[in-house]
Chain A
Amino acid sequence: MKRSRQINLEQMRKRTPAPATTAGRMVKLSLLLGSGYLLTGCDSQNAQLYRTLSECTLDNPLHPQQCDYAYRSALADWQQTAPRYRSMSDCAYEFGSSSCQQYNHYYSPNMAGFMLARGDDFDIDFSKRAKPLGLSKTFGANNKWVGADGTLFGDYSRQKVRVSGNAFKPLKGGARTLGRGGFGKTIASRSSWGG
């Protein structure tokens, strides 16, 4: 036999509506709402901002290794979570052209510093993971510390800030669609092309 032995005709029929398959999406949505409630705690937290690794080691001469680790983990997180732009000008609009770099197929700003939590005794709490920050140059938020998700943390000149308790929560790397319509343009200019 050179042909398909069996074809399930019922599965090929289109007139009887298929059972709704939106259940999966609904579940995801409600999970998101749930975690949203958890985020709305309102305790606050003292924090220290460093622009460079050496600022940290000068400030904390007893903890050069912790500073080094904090810096490197912040840098790694920044590379994961920093906003990405399709053009240099889009990146420069928000971060200034001198701090934007081209990667393979996108542009992304450099890390401008990192934030560490301070305990009640005003010592740095190195047990909390450092948060990487960029330097915003955008209109209305010029020279402000900004997190990878766009949260502002005050003037670049400030080194001590009070932030909300969840400011140190690691970002998952927000997925924001930058644009659509990057495929499908050729077809508009050609009449037919199917194979």
Chain B
Amino acid sequence: MLRVACTERSHWREQARDFGFHFHTLYGEPYWDESAYYQFSLDQIERDLEAPTAELHQMCLAVVDRVVRSEALLQKCRIPEHYWDQVATSWYTREPSLYSRIDLAYDGHSPAKLYENNADTPTSLYETGFWQWLWLEDQVNAGHLPRNADQFNSLQERLIRRFQALRQQMPGHGLHLACCKDTIEDRGTVQYLEDCAAQAGITCHFVYIDDIGLNDQGRFTDLQEQPISWLFKLYPWEFMQRETFGPATADSHCRFLEPIWKSILSNKALLPLLWEQFPGHPNLLPAYFEDDPAAATLHHCVRKPLFSREGANISILKDGSIQQHSPGPYGAEGYILQAWHPLPRFGHNHTLIGSWLVNDQPAGISVREDHNPITQDLSRFVPHIIL
């Protein structure tokens, strides 16, 4: 695993406009950064990232299977009691999922360690599945990278195939896709999924999550008053469950992507539950609920809110004192502690691997860099190759 400096393609900004990649620069800072790439060996990809990703995912599903059968654990996950049956039914009937991203700390030789699972609303999908793929095509065609350079990235192909399979289960139904207003990245992610679904032959409609209505039949509607029977929502279940329309999801005759059982996976309670069920697993870090006496064994650890995104409200604790803290709005539902395991550094950069799954199949990786050891939403996206 190497970080290799390289020359930017001269036309990439123009190309970004052509393809509708509007968020390559955020708040004046580069988000897409092709002044370097990461180079992996095939072994590193297959043995250290792909195989552990598949295994970690199966372990996560085993945790889901345990949680839905236990009121005490559903309570620990802070899933409101009103939804316990709905979550369990969704799991027992194996409501289909689309995709996930797990975050891994990996330095090229020691086992990758699971940081967290973004199973419900993962973003940076377009940059991974399409944009870095295009970058490699261009660099190879221009002769800047060898012909045999590859990339761990079958994301787009698998998404389209997954949508084709899901389409068979929803004959005659269009897919609505929703995200919040005023976030260009989320809109980009949803647009990309819409493109993939359309290529799988699905009729798509877009609606902002805030514009969704509820009609007198208990069904969700779009702005044209059309009932929504199949909804991809780039909006977390933990928010939906606590909002006005949340209770209506049960009888709405709407199938959701991701399904509601994913609210167990996108929850940091997953981390102590994994450690409890698979103690000492090489790809896991010791983790405990904050109120667990065993948490005292962690002298150097990271304190994460049960619900948190993009590195918000995270503290690094050493022997009881806070070493570093990131601000944010989360934490009301409690915290977990995870053993300190710093991201590997390449030069001044702290590097985080996002490992993607489509349904339960590993589908590729994204690499993000930050000058800060806690990666945040402004971390730069850097492409990678296999050589």
Residues of A within 8 A of B (CB): 1-9, 11-15, 24-25, 83-86, 104-106, 173-187, 189-195
Contacts and interface: CB of A to CB of B under 8 A. Distances in A.
A4 B154 contact: yes
Contacts of A24: 203
3 shortest interchain CB distances as A-B pairs: A182-B245, A14-B20, A184-B210
Contacts of A2: 42, 45, 150-154, 364, 386
Interface in B354-385: 364, 377
A151 to B, nearest CB: 16
Contact of A14 (B18, B129, B251): B18
Contact of B213 (A104, A173, A179): A179
A5 B157 contact: yes
Given A4-B157, A182-B245, 12 more contacts: A2-B150, A7-B133, A8-B199, A13-B18, A86-B214, A105-B251, A175-B227, A194-B123, A195-B101, A195-B121, A195-B123, A195-B310
5 contacts: A2-B42, A12-B130, A175-B217, A193-B239, A194-B186
B18 A183 contact: no
Contacts of B309: 192-195
A177 B225 contact: yes
Contact of B217 (A7, A84, A193): A84
A2 to B, nearest CB: 5
B250 interface: yes
A3 B195 contact: no
B155 interface: yes
A24 B226 CA distance: 13
Given A175-B215, A194-B121, A194-B123, A183 B240 contact: yes
A82 to B, nearest CB: 9
Nearest to A83: B216
A12 B19 contact: yes
A190 B20 contact: no
Given A13-B18, A105-B248, A195-B122, A184 B217 contact: no
Contact of A183 (B185, B209, B250): B209
A149 to B, nearest CB: 11
Contacts of A191: 312, 328-329
B120 interface: yes
A177 B221 contact: yes
A13 B192 CA distance: 11
Given A1-B150, A8-B199, A189-B329, A15 B18 contact: yes
A1 to B, nearest CB: 6
A14 B19 CA distance: 5
B225 A175 contact: yes
Contacts of B168: none
Contacts of B236: 193
A13 B330 CA distance: 38
Contacts of A7: 130, 133-134, 156-157
Contact of B218 (A9, A106, A193, A194): A106
B136 A3 contact: yes
B185 A178 contact: no
A79 to B, nearest CB: 12
A185 B241 CA distance: 12
B7 interface: no
B216 A187 contact: no
Nearest to A180: B213
A190 B235 CA distance: 13
Interface string B110-142: 000000001011110000011001101000000
Contacts of B42: 2
Contact of B312 (A6, A184, A192): A192
Contacts of B227: 175
B248 A3 contact: no
A176 B216 contact: yes
A9 B141 CA distance: 15
Contact of A184 (B209, B214, B221): B209
Contacts of B185: 194
A193 B312 CA distance: 8
Interface string B282-297: 0000000000000000
Given A184-B180, A194-B123, A195-B123, A11 B214 contact: no
Contacts of A85: 216
Contacts of B377: 192, 194
Contact of A3 (B151, B216, B233, B247): B151
A11 to B, nearest CB: 6
Contacts of B212: 180, 182-184
B157 A184 contact: no
B159 to A, nearest CB: 9
